[in-house]
A and B are shown apart, each in its own frame.
Chain A
Amino acid sequence: MGRREFTDLLDIDLTDKDAVLETIMEDYGESVVWLAYSYLKDKGKAEDIAQEVFIICYTKLDSFNNNASLKSWVLTITANKCKDVLKSWSHRNIVFAQSLLSTIKHQDSSPDAQLVGLEENKELTRNILKLPMKYREVIFLHYFEDLKVQEMSDLLSLKENSVKTRLRRARMLLKEMY
C-alpha cells in the first residue's frame, strides 16, 4: 500500500476524530514508529511511543491547525515525545543499566542485533543509528520521510541553514563510516 500524501487528507472531515485516527494510523503508522525507532533505537519503546503519539493526536486533534500539514504535525508530536523520553531520568537509567548488563553478559545490545534483510541495508541502517541524534534526525526526516529542508526546519524549530549544515555533516559522517 503506497503512502498517501497530505493532500489526500483534505477530503477527511477533521471533526470525525475516529476516521482521522484510522487514516493517520494507516498512513503514518510506519513513519511514526520508524521515527521513534531512529530516536530511541529500541523496538519496544518505539512501538509504545507510536501508540502514545496516536492517542495524543486523537485527543489533541482540536488543536491541529487545518492549514498545516497533518503529517508534519504527527511527526512533530513524535519527535517531541521521543526527545522527552530521551531526556527522562528513567530512560537514561535504563540505558545505563542495560549497558552494564550487556557488558556483564558480553552481549551485543546494539539495535543491529535485531535487523534482518540484505546486508548492505542492515549496514546502512546500523550506520545511521550510530550517528549523533541531531544528524540522525535530519537524515531520517529528509531521506526516509522525504521532507524538504523548510519542512524539517519547521518541524525541528531550526533555521534552514542549520538543517542544511546538519544534513551535509551527516552525509559526511556516513561516508566516513564506509
Chain B
Amino acid sequence: MDEKLKSLRARMIDTKAVSFEDHHKKRVRSRLQHPDTPPKTRRFTIFIQEKFPAYLTYIVLLVMLTGTGLFAASEIGFLYTETNNTETKMQATPSKEELYTAIFQSLETINSESDREQARSFIESYLTNLDNWRISDANADFTNRKAILAQGRITEGSFDKTTFSLWVEPNSGLPLEFVIRNQESSVLEEFKLSNDTIAKAYKQK
C-alpha cells in the first residue's frame, strides 16, 4: 500500500480522470480579459446536464409543497369554497322575504280556485308580518319529499298562543300543507294541497 501511495501522482494521472489543458488556460485568460462577459466554461448541453437535476428537484419540491398546501387547505376547509358556496346556494335556507314572495307567486299555479284562495288567505293572514314566523327547517321531510318548514305564532284575537306550521315545496314555493294548532297542540285548522293539484301546478310551471 505504501508503495502504491508513494507513486500516487503518477498512478492517479494515469487514470486521466481530470486534466488542465491549454483550452482551460485560454478560458482563464479570456475571462480575465473580458470580466464582464459571462463565462463560457461549459457548453449548453453540459450546462443543462448539470442544472437539470437541480431544476428537477426544485420542481419536485414545489409540487410537493403545493400538494401539501392544497391538502392542508382542503382539510382546514379553505378549498372548494366556490363549490360549497354553489351547493349552499342551492340548498341554502331562503330568507323569509324570498320564501314569502315564492309562495305568493306559486299561488298562481294552483288550478283549484278554492285551494288557491284558502292558501292565499292563510298566507296573507299569517305570513305578511315577517316578525311573526320563522323558517325552522329548510330541509324538512314532508311525506318523503323535501320541504321548507315555516312556523309561527298567531297572536291576534282569539288565536292568541296558537301556532301554525307551513310546509313549502322548495323549488316551486307551493304551500304543501299548513296546520294551525292551539296551546294543547290540537289541530284547529288544516289545509293540504292534493297531489293532483301539485302535479298540475308543476306542469303549469
Contacts and interface: CB of A to CB of B under 8 A. Distances in A.
A114 interface: yes
Contact of B12 (A46, A96, A124): A124
Interface residues of B, number: 35
Interface residues of A, number: 51
Contacts of A143: 5-6, 8-9
The SS class assigned to the A binding surface is: helix
Given A96-B57, A97-B54, A33 B15 contact: no
A55 B13 CA distance: 24
B145 interface: no
Interface string A29-56: 1101110110000011111101100110
A51 B27 contact: yes
A33 B41 contact: no
Contact of B50 (A94, A121, A140, A178): A94
Interface string B48-88: 00110110111000000000000000000000000000000
Interface of B: 1-2, 4-6, 8-9, 11-20, 24-25, 27-29, 31-32, 39, 41-42, 46, 50-51, 53-54, 56-58
A164 interface: no
A48 to B, nearest CB: 5
Contacts of B1: 171, 174-175, 178
B195 to A, nearest CB: 67
A50 B20 contact: yes
A125 B24 contact: no
B2 to A, nearest CB: 8
A55 B16 contact: no
Contact of A25 (B8, B20, B31, B54): B20
Nearest to A97: B53
Contacts, number: 120
B65 to A, nearest CB: 15
Given A47-B20, A50-B20, A94 B54 contact: yes
Contacts of A68: none
Interface string A84-102: 0000001001101110110
| Chain B interface, DSSP helix/strand/loop, else mixed | helix
B17 A37 contact: yes
A61 to B, nearest CB: 12
Interface of A: 21-22, 25, 29-30, 32-34, 36-37, 43-48, 50-51, 54-55, 58, 90, 93-94, 96-98, 100-101, 111, 114-118, 120-122, 124-125, 128, 139-140, 143-146, 171, 174-175, 178
B53 A125 contact: no
Given A48-B41, A171-B1, A93 B57 contact: yes
A30 B25 CA distance: 11
B17 A111 contact: yes
Contacts of B16: 115-117
A116 B50 contact: no
Contacts of A116: 15-16
B28 A44 contact: no
Residue of B13, B17, B29, B56 with highest tally of chain A CB at under 10 A: B17
A124 B50 contact: no
Contacts of A139: 5, 8
Contacts of B4: 120, 124
Contact of B53 (A54, A94, A145): A94
Contacts of A101: 53, 56
B15 A125 contact: yes
